[in-house]
Amino acid sequence: MTPMTRTTTGLDAQTAELLTGSLRKMLADNPDGSGLGDTLAELGWDEVLADDRPGATTLLFVEHGRALATSRVLDEVLLAELAPSLPAPGTGPRAPFYPLGTAAPVAPDAPLAGLLLGGLDGVAEVVVPVALDGQVGLSLVPADLVAAATRPAGGFDPASRWLLVDGPVAELTRYAGSEDGSRVWDRAVAVGRLAVAAEIIGVCAAALAIAVEHTSARVQYGRQIATFQAVRHRLSEAHVAIESARSVLAAAWKALEHPDGGSGAARLAKLRAGWAQAEVMRHALQVCGAMGLSLEHPLHRHVSRAAALDALLGGHRALTGQLGAELLTGAELDPIVEI
């Protein structure tokens, strides 16, 4: 496959469609994401990103979500942001550490509580953000030191392949590039949040499609259940939730172009995507009846994945509380969006 021609002002509709098609097929065949790197290389992804990073990232992660894929492509997004302020990787690949809660950097003396997107085999170092006197230091912790504190995350989304890091880890104090660590980490979190928001949107769109299909086929009282207003209105609400998450995501990408931040907008985009998944899954589960609760039906995998993604880089409840607390103590009410 040859890299596609593109305009420099962003992906045109035809290119986007072709890329979507290739990614969708690839991820459907390899939901564990193996080979995603090769596919992206074949598609000339670096060039696509250079042309239209918001469009390309959104497209990739929406498809990743739609396929419930489990690749570590999100790691690449964060590492690309962190790399310039880290020493060149010597010993091997790195993996970022994702703190739980509001994704705040960890205290140097506290045990780690967070996630890794996959196993540590072949990983040399874990990049851990550490809070240092109001600044953030990026610590490069040898993977074998972290490994002792990891267990498969399992739980609500057993298919995630994530690892939970839970426990004390030595050598958290080996810092690199702490000078602009705060800015770099904020930016990595912001871009990561936009990617995860897109992934959640993808999972939600797939769940809504399942619900539409189910309710249009299933007959009760002699009618398709999608002809009952109560069912129709739930599906409409799910649609509104997804569309509103898409709008905030697009606005947040725009805000990120400003050199002075966009992290507030990125947090909102993640928050709204998290809120959307709660809405969409509540409605989708209801209209699919008992079938949607069964192991054989695909819906539950979307419900679990969306909930897990919500927790990545800050769950919507935690972020809403954080945001509101800032407003109460006088933070500016940023309009985020201008005409």
Partner 1 sequence: MTAPTGAPAPVARPAGPGTEASLAEDLDAYRLALRDHLRTEPALESFRGRRYPSTEARMADHARLERLLHDAGWSRYGWPATVGGLGGDERHRAVLYDELAAAGLPVPGQHMLLETLGPPIVRFAPELAAAYLPAYLRGEEWWGQGFSEPEAGSDLASLRCRARRDGDTYAVTGQKLWTSHGATATRLVCLVRTGTPESRHRGLSMIMIDVDSPGVTVRPIAMANGDNELAEVFFDDVVVPTSRLIGAEGQGWAVAMYLLQFERAMYAWLSAAEALRRLRELRGQLAARAAGGRPVPDGAAARLGEAYAHLVALRARSAGTVRRLAVGDTVGPEASVDKVLLATAEICLHDVARDLLGDEFLFAAEGAAGGNALAAGTVEAAQWRTDWWFSRSATILGGSAEVQRTILADHVLGLPKEAKP
Least CB distance to partner 1 at residue 275 (A): 7
Site string for partner 1, 107-146 (x = CB under 8 A): ----------------------------------------
21 interacts with partner 1 by CB under 8 A: no
At 205, list the tokens: 């769109």
Inter-residue contact 247 to 272 (CB < 8 Å): no
CB atoms within 10 A of CB 166: 15
Name the DSSP class of 267: H
Question: Residue 241 and residue 195: Cα distance in Å, rounded?
Answer: 18
- In the list 220, 247, 286, 294, the residue contacting partner 1 (rule: CB under 8 A) is 247
Stretch that binds partner 1, among 109-117, 123-131, 178-186, 246-254 (CB under 8 A): 246-254
Residue 153 phi, psi (nearest 5): -70, -40
220 interacts with partner 1 by CB under 8 A: no
Stretch that binds partner 1, among 102-110, 191-199, 229-237, 303-311 (CB under 8 A): 229-237
322 is an interface residue for partner 1 by CB under 8 A: yes
Out of 72, 275, 277, 288, which residue is the one contacting partner 1 (CB under 8 A)? Answer: 275
Residue 272 interacts with partner 1 (CB under 8 A): yes or no:
yes
- What count of residues does the chain have? 339
Residue whose pair of structure tokens reads 């298919």 in the numeric block: 159
Q: Is 335 in the site for partner 1 (CB under 8 A)?
A: yes
Residues forming beta bridges with residue 135, ordered by sequence position:
132
3-class DSSP state of 302: helix
CB-wise, 295 or 339, nearer to partner 1? 339
Asked whether the CA dihedral 316, 318, 321, 326 is positive or negative, the reply is negative
Least gap, CB of 61 to partner 1 (angstroms) = 18
Q: Retrieve residue 84's tokens.
A: 């310039």
Strand pairing category for 175-176 and 135-142 = antiparallel
240 binds partner 1 (CB under 8 A): yes
What number of chain residues touch partner 1 (CB under 8 A)?
A: 44
Site for partner 1 in 292-321 (CB under 8 A): 317, 319-321
Q: Is 124 helix (H, G, I), strand (E, B) or coil?
A: coil
Cα distances (Å, whole numbers) of residue 158 to 50, 116, 146, 204, 307: 35, 14, 21, 18, 12
282 lies in the site for partner 1, by CB under 8 A: no
Note whether 333 binds partner 1 by CB under 8 A.
Answer: yes
How far is Cα 3 from Cα 17, in angstroms, rounded to an integer? Answer: 14
Residue 86 or 336 with smaller CB distance to partner 1: 336
C-alpha 225/C-alpha 254 separation (Å) is: 40
Fill in the per-residue mask, 186 to 215: x = in contact with partner 1 (CB under 8 A), - = not in contact. Answer: --------------------------x--x
Which of 3, 243, 291, 293 is the binder for partner 1 (CB under 8 A)? 243
Regarding 218 and contact with partner 1 (CB under 8 A), the answer is: no
Pick the binder of partner 1 from 229, 260, 290, 296 (CB under 8 A). Answer: 229
Select from 112, 63, 73 the least CA-distant residue to 95: 73
Which of helix, strand or coil describes residue 75?
Answer: helix
**Residue 251 in the binding site for partner 1 (CB under 8 A):** yes
Q: Is 219 helix (H, G, I), strand (E, B) or coil?
A: strand
Residues that bind partner 1 (CB under 8 A): 212, 215-216, 223-224, 226-229, 232-233, 235-237, 239-240, 243-245, 247-248, 250-251, 268, 271-272, 275, 317, 319-325, 327-328, 330, 333, 335-339
